[in-house]
Structure 1
Amino acid sequence: MEHNSTIAHMIDRIVSSQLADAIAHSPAVALLGPRQVGKTTLALEIGQRYGAIYLDLESERDRAKLAQPELYLADHQDKLVIFDEVHRAPGLFPVLRGLIDQGRRTGRKSGQYLLLGSASLDLLKQSGETLAGRIAYLELSPFNVLETRSLPADDLWVRGGFPESLLASDAARSLRWRQDFIRTYLERDIPQFGPRIAAETLRRFWSMLAYHQGGLLNTAQFARNLGVDVKTAGGYLDLLVDLLLVRRLSPWHANLGKRLVKSPKVFVRDSGLVHALLNISDKETLLAHPVIGQSWECFVIENLLTCTSNKVQGYFYRTSGGAEIDLLLLWPDGSLWAIEIKRSLSPKVARGFHEACADLAPVRKFVVYPGEERYPLASDIEAISLEELAREIVRAQ
């Protein structure tokens, strides 16, 4: 465990410079991400530069310090204060608002509060009501392909990007960590955030999403399989999306005179959790499993999306006639990049991709494949590795 945490400290997080910039320019910053993703590690590293005070709100002792939050925080107006698991102290937000406004009146504008949260829902609900215009949001995802270049490429896909899973000493330990993580979420963490849901029901739903990885959302089908109504199944999905564990990828919709698919795609964001939910222990087992193609496609999509800033939006495109693009990136200037994903060392571009590109006129077209070499597949389409395209996206921002 000690060794893992040392390696985790040595891996640079892409969001690190954005976080430092946000702290320098905003009076409050929220760093959101699932549990165990490395938020505390990153916050403490940045906090060292500021001589920050760290409060873990899951600790009774630290919560006790905030029995009179105005008094405690007034004593530390000159410091960056880090609040970990901030949803544990919802009464804190109005206090922070008052202190930030007071600081503004006295000429202090930035670097006061860093809030760490394991979910968007409670944090956004609370801070959205009381800290509007005073808070910047950043999301920390599990490790991505640009952060783990020194590790075997397929380890990130098979084990996922949670530090303890990726850096475990062998495949069995990695799988056990992910299974424990899922159980802890179901039994301890989710009950803090949502209405009481039987852990077993939610586990079945989460596993269904893993089997259905990257498929179009059909809430009615999920509801039937679970024996609940559609609204309840929709609520389960909303909860897992809010906990930053599942992604809904929206379909591109524009008036093109075509019949476009309107349902979002849904997938479990971390590939390692997909494999744990399906009891896939290692690469050999994965290669023989029917989820392999969708697992790799969603792994690529999630990695590319975690490399984008919140100014770049991701979609997919599909018409009833078969035109399809796996991932569309919409840039702030309105231009589009079209990305096709093929798990083959000699990828071929399908007719549906050409048709979709004719509909949308993207400025860049790529086919991501598992090889290393970058080469033209057609005059305006490049075959490219995941890592290389991730770098290209970061450079373009």
Structure 2
Amino acid sequence: MIPRRVQPVLEARLDQVPVVVLTGPRQAGKTTLALEVARRREALYLDLESERDRAKLAAAEFYLEAHLGRLVVLDEVHRMPELFPLLRSLVDRARREGRRTGLYLLLGSLAPEVSRQAGESLAGRASYLELAPLDLLEVGREAEDRLWLRGGFPESFLAPGDGVSYRWRLDFLRSYVEREIPLLGGRIPNEVLRRFLTMLAHLQGELLNTSELARNLGLDGRTVNRYLDFLVDLYLLRRLPPLEANVGKRLVKSPKLYLRDSGLVHALLGIQDLEGLLAHPVVGRSYEGFVLENLLRVLPEGGQAFFYRTRAGAEVDLVLLLPGGRAWAVEVKRSLDPRPSRGFHEALKDLRPQMAFVVYPGAEAFPLGEGVLAAPLYEVMGRLWAG
């Protein structure tokens, strides 16, 4: 098991609150992490997609009451929404008996369902964490190209070869198309949804144009937006909003779209190895999305992420607003000569960030003048994670 950076945070939360809710995409490693925590704490683990474990909860109140005070892990908890009011009652009973922390660890891969159900029943009793796929700080800087090509899902990243990894990602996408999206109420035909995902891969890092997507798919704009929402809820898609800065200039107001895992982008485009990726037209935008997603995984709690673009051409790929009022500007260049454009320098004049970076695929950091530092992704992630 690759050590996950969130594990000590999760362990600390269990020592502070009665319920921790851990969400994230399927196959990101939630169950593996939860089983490690369960082993260390001698916890009870129940998989609510298992008929045998669901049967144990036929009389849920009696069963869970018998284990009150012991950490209970409930995996895919949204499969039994009727448990949430019961958990609230048991948490309150345990509190009255002096047991106030580490009672339940809830895992879920459907963000809106888990958050809604927990929010309604466990308000003031639960803390929330997200486990994303593997990132560069977890796998090491020497594995950057492999992580970029294969993405961060552990089964894909750790596969014995690029071909095996590619096949795993195709199967993963098929399972999402045929199973997960219908669970959210989606009724779009599988073939249309596959075309939709492939179109998003081709448009990686582009501004959202709902009418164009709708026209190309033969759908209406409301349906397109609903399916974009589904993909966001399933942790597959990120809508990066524009920064609404008061700079007296006309700003782009549409969000940018990124499929969150670079390996899925490549699978959708039929890219199987690094050579094929480097020769593909999507290479620059793929690398931009890869850098962006890795940086956002180490963004301090309470931080916010945007991009900045004016109608006149001033632009920054990523603006990070950090706790304490600090701002970082990050440009991404898939080049060993990472000189930023004039538009980047114009944007810095507008934004006046405390730090400005150009992330590039080299090995060393060096100044580019005017307070801008060219740096490898691993180094910028380390600085951001360290605060």
Smaller-chain TM-score bracket: over 0.9
Secondary structure, counterpart of 1:232 in structure 2: helix
Which of residues 365, 368, 371 in structure 2 aligns to 1:377? Answer: 368
Task: Report the equivalent of 1:98.
Answer: 89
- Deviation sequence 1:328-362 (CA, Å, 0-9, x none): 11011111011111111111121111111111110
Task: Report the equivalent of 1:6.
Answer: none
Which of residues 249, 254, 258 in structure 2 aligns to 1:258? Answer: 249
> Hey, what's the Cα distance between the residues in 2 that align with 1:217 and 1:372?
34
| RMSD (Å), alpha carbons | 1.1
- Residue identity in the other structure for 1:215: E
Task: Report the equivalent of 1:19.
Answer: 10
Task: Report the equivalent of 2:297.
Answer: 306
Q: How does 1:164-203 map to 2 (within 5 A)?
A: 164-203=155-194
Secondary structure, counterpart of 1:371 in structure 2: coil
2:265 is the counterpart of 1:286: no
Which of residues 196, 201, 204 in structure 2 aligns to 1:213? Answer: 204
Task: Report the equivalent of 1:49.
Answer: 40
Task: Report the equivalent of 2:101.
Answer: 110
Which of residues 123, 126, 130 in structure 2 aligns to 1:132? Answer: 123
Task: Report the equivalent of 1:236.
Answer: 227
- Deviation sequence 1:92-134 (CA, Å, 0-9, x none): 1111111112222222211011111112011112112211221
Which of residues 286, 308, 317 in structure 2 aligns to 1:326? Answer: 317
> Hey, what's the Cα distance between the residues in 1 that align with 2:187 and 2:88?
31
Question: 1:150/1:293 Cα in 2 relative to 1: closer, same or farther (>3 Å)?
Answer: closer
Q: Shift of residue 150 of structure 1? A: 6.7
Contact 2:305 2:320 in 1 (8 A): yes
2:360 is the counterpart of 1:394: no
Q: Shift of residue 238 of structure 1? A: 0.1
- Residue identity in the other structure for 2:275: E
Q: Shift of residue 379 of structure 1? A: 4.1
Q: Shift of residue 195 of structure 1? A: 3.0
Q: TM-score, normalised by structure 2?
A: 0.98
Q: Shift of residue 199 of structure 1? A: 1.6
Secondary structure, counterpart of 1:114 in structure 2: strand
- Residue identity in the other structure for 2:123: A
> Hey, what's the Cα distance between the residues in 1 that align with 2:262 and 2:308?
22
Secondary structure, counterpart of 1:317 in structure 2: strand
Q: What residue ranges of structure 1 are gaps of 5+ in the alignment?
A: 1-8
Q: Shift of residue 190 of structure 1? A: 2.1
Secondary structure, counterpart of 1:146 in structure 2: helix
> Hey, what's the Cα distance between the residues in 1 that align with 2:153 and 2:164?
13
> Hey, what's the Cα distance between the residues in 1 that align with 2:209 and 2:120?
32
Show structure 1 runs of 4+ deviating over 4 A.
none
2:24 is the counterpart of 1:33: yes
- Residue identity in the other structure for 1:171: D
2:107 is the counterpart of 1:121: no
> Hey, what's the Cα distance between the residues in 2 that align with 1:334 and 1:168?
42
Question: 1:240/1:153 Cα in 2 relative to 1: closer, same or farther (>3 Å)?
Answer: same
Secondary structure, counterpart of 2:73 in structure 1: strand
- Residue identity in the other structure for 1:321: A
Structure 1, 252-261 or 262-271: larger mean CA deviation? 252-261
Task: Report the equivalent of 1:360.
Answer: 351
- Residue identity in the other structure for 1:55: L
- Deviation sequence 1:234-275 (CA, Å, 0-9, x none): 000000000011111111002221111111111100000000
Contact 2:196 2:217 in 1 (8 A): yes
- Deviation sequence 1:16-47 (CA, Å, 0-9, x none): 11111111111111111111111001111111
Secondary structure, counterpart of 1:147 in structure 2: helix
> Hey, what's the Cα distance between the residues in 2 that align with 1:53 and 1:105?
22
Task: Report the equivalent of 2:260.
Answer: 269
Q: Shift of residue 151 of structure 1? A: 5.1
Secondary structure, counterpart of 1:216 in structure 2: coil
Contact 2:141 2:378 in 1 (8 A): no
Q: TM-score, normalised by structure 1?
A: 0.95
Q: What residue ranges of structure 2 are gaps of 5+ in the alignment?
A: none
Secondary structure, counterpart of 1:124 in structure 2: helix
Task: Report the equivalent of 2:154.
Answer: 163
Contact 2:243 2:306 in 1 (8 A): yes
> Hey, what's the Cα distance between the residues in 1 that align with 2:187 and 2:52?
27
> Hey, what's the Cα distance between the residues in 1 that align with 2:36 and 2:319?
35
Task: Report the equivalent of 1:145.
Answer: 136
- Residue identity in the other structure for 1:248: R
Q: Shift of residue 189 of structure 1? A: 2.2
> Hey, what's the Cα distance between the residues in 2 that align with 1:202 and 1:121?
20
Secondary structure, counterpart of 2:146 in structure 1: helix
> Hey, what's the Cα distance between the residues in 2 that align with 1:78 and 1:69?
15
Structure 1, 144-153 or 88-97: larger mean CA deviation? 144-153
- Residue identity in the other structure for 2:79: R
Q: Shift of residue 152 of structure 1? A: 2.9
2:339 is the counterpart of 1:348: yes
